[in-house]
Amino acid sequence: MRRLESIALVSAAYPPHTSGGIEVQTYDLAHALSSEGVDVTVFCGGAKVPKLIREHENLKIFRMPMADAPPRVVWFQLQNLEILRRTLPNYDIVHSQHSSGSIYGLFKEKIGKPWVVSFHDHQLRRLTVFFDVKPWNLSLGDIMYYTFGCPLFEFLTKMELKWADHYIACGESGFRDYVKFSKMDPAKTTVIPNGINLEKIRSIIRSAKEYENSEEKDDFMIFTCGRLYASKGIQYLLKAMPHVIKRFQNVQLKIFGKGPLYSYLQGLIRSLKLKNNVTLEGHVPYKQLISEMNKSDLAVFPSMVEVGASLAVMEAMACHKAVVAFNYPFSLEIIEHLKTGYLVPPKNVNAVAKAICVLIEDETLRKKLGENAYCNVVRNHDSKNVVKKYLEVYSNVLSMQN
């Protein structure tokens, strides 16, 4: 069997230029692969002119221009098409991290290198959110995405399923969606649950503690983060907060992230009279995000669509935090109710409020869920272990080419 020596990871964004979990996943996978002795080059945006940066011995970052307009992942590849055509033949395997967005299939035959695609949440699953929320909860960006973006991404998904040599589904629920909606071939698919770099998170926490004030805080801190789209369900968390504050006045909620729903959420905070208890923190650097997560008492992620096990949920678990989430199939891949987290019926504001109040009141339960959650991610989602499944996929793909 031919040994994997080099791999090209194609991801429009890469830290510190991030907008979501895929970029963090790319970072962790790239570092895990390079630690296994594989030469990795990440092709991403973030530079006005193309430049190659050596991050360490086996890891290089090829930063290229990227238009700041949706669909960014498509424009990024079109802008840099000649560079990609010229350089990708130098690698054993091309791995596209952005499903429903790769155009490598258009020139794969000419380059002749095997192609692996990571498939995340299905576009038609995202489309259900459009019919699942009140119209006034949708921003113009949401509407543009659902009406114009979905057909484009569905077309690209079909191209990926036709031309890719192997598919990686990032969760069981996502895999079932692709089989159901797009007839994904199970024989060409490997389900690999998302992983996180636990040592990276531990290092951030250790560094942050050196500068943190050790004084006791009076307020109970609730944390959430994510792109501010309707599918993230932040509106349900905000609507639950008046019920929580009625019982516990010293509760503070910090919301980290940016997106088209920002103005709507600002208005909702004002109308619900939450400005003394809720702050929209915007986008912050990753290290600061993890530090804030670690300082919180509770994490709440009311998302309605995720890519299998949510990276944000796993990061909170790595910080020993109890997590409240909606009871969807993707949540069940990481959370067992009252063992590794607290699940509530989807979009049920009263249930969200009740869960938060229970965990504020019951510190013993909160700490037990946090510790169990931490053990869960250490056992099942450490990228050092998850990477071995990727290496097995790459080896099998290479052997089929010979």
pLDDT bracket for residue 19 (50, 70, 90): low
Confidence of residue 227 (pLDDT cuts 50, 70, 90): confident
Q: At 2, is the secondary structure helix, strand, or coil?
A: coil
DSSP symbol at 214: -
The predicted-structure confidence for 272-309, as pLDDT tens digits, reads as follows: 999 999 999 999 999 999 999 999 999 999 999 887 78
CB 326 within 8 A of CB 303: yes
Q: What's the average model confidence in pLDDT over 218-246?
A: 94
Q: Enter the pTM of the model.
A: 0.90
Mean pLDDT, range 246-256, rounded to an integer = 97
* pLDDT tens per residue across span 153-180: 788 888 899 999 999 999 999 899 899 8
pLDDT at 127 over 80: no
**Amino acid at residue number 16:** P
Q: Examine the pLDDT at 142 and tell me if it is beyond 80.
A: no
pLDDT score of 130 more than 70:
no
Report yes or no: 300 and 356 within 8 Å, Cβ to Cβ: yes
User: What would the pLDDT profile of 35-92 be if each residue is shown by its tens digit?
Assistant: 999 999 999 998 999 999 999 899 999 999 998 777 788 888 999 999 999 999 999 9
* pLDDT given at position 140: 66
Average pLDDT of 105-109?
87
- In angstroms, the CA 124 to CA 362 distance is 39
Q: What is the predicted pLDDT for the residue at 1?
A: 54
Q: 135: pLDDT confidence band, cut at 50, 70 and 90?
A: low
222 neighbors 298 (Cβ within 8 angstroms)? yes
Exposed (0-12), middle (13-18) or buried (19+): which is 368, by Cβ within 10 Å? middle
Residue 246 has pLDDT above 90, yes or no: yes
Q: Contact 178/200 with Cβ under 8 angstroms?
A: no
Q: What is the model's pLDDT at position 272?
A: 98
- When mean pLDDT is compared across 106-110, 154-158, 214-218, 368-372, the lowest value belongs to 214-218
What integer best gives the mean pLDDT of the chain? 90
**Rounded CA separation 387/366 (Å):** 31
What pLDDT score was predicted for residue 112?
87
